[in-house]
Amino acid sequence: MEFASSLFTTGSLWIISILDALFVVLALRHAPWRRLAESGRSNSYFAMLVALMLLWGMRTEVTIGLQYHLLGITSLTLMFGWSLGLIGSILALLGVTLAGWSQWSALPFSIVTVGIVPVSLTFISLLVVRAYLPKHFFVFVFVNAFIAGGLVGLICGFIAVAMLVMSGVHTPDRLLDGVMPFFPIMFFPEGVLNGWIMSLVVVFKPDWVYSFSDEEYLAGK
């Protein structure tokens, strides 16, 4: 979910902008720049960002001020980790905004629903799955990519709706009747997209995936 225009007060704009800045500083500080500079990694990273920009260009307005598009952020995070996932999502958002598909005034709020929340939820899900489920190829693709990707997209939609309600742009009743009944439908395409991407990358280019290891997920299975 992405915001089409600034529907929020100046106070909330400052609060969200400061929150965004804190997360950006944290990501920049802990990003594995040396690993990204390794052979082929930077090329795959920026190719993924271009792909996300093109994906986000295919959008539809679900209600006043709120646009829906597939995220693909789960795949980005699984491939490059939390820090580079967050930085990449923001760079892709900047590209989309520069292309005129989004508005600068809505950028700080879109960073929350398209960057901070989905990247963080994906990373937390990865840690939980690693701790409690067996390390198996099927678990990685089905749980970390398909299920987590679908749930992340769904949760981001609910958070975007909550932000609109708190801003006073829409009443809860209007969103409950006109928008939220369609949210469960968003789970499947988001899950399929991320499951498909990670299946292909893990099979053909496993060295591109930060969170995947042949020794852990395939050896002896």
Low-confidence ranges of the chain (pLDDT < 70): 4-6, 39, 169-170, 214, 218-221
Confidence (pLDDT) at 48? 95
User: For residue 221, what pLDDT is reported?
Assistant: 55
The pLDDT of residue 165 is 81
Across the chain, mean pLDDT equals 88
> Which pLDDT score is estimated for 46?
94
What's the pLDDT score for residue 39?
67
What does the DSSP assignment read for the chain?
-EESS--S-HHHHHHHHHHHHHHHHHHHHH--HHHHTSTTHHHHHHHHHHHHHHHHTS-EEEETTEEE----HHHHHHHHHHHHHHHHHHHHHHHHHHTTSS-GGGHHHHHIIIIIHHHHHHHHHHHHHHHHS---HHHIIIIIIIIHHHHHHHHHHHHHHHHHHHHTSS-HHHHHHHTGGGHHHHHHHHHHHHHHHHHHHHHH-GGG-TT--HHHHTTT-
- Residue 131 has what pLDDT? 92
> For residue range 66-76, what is the model confidence (pLDDT) as tens digits?
788 999 999 99
Domains and CATH numbers, the chain: 2-217 (1.10.1760.20)
Joined together, the tokens standing for residue 8 give 């929020």
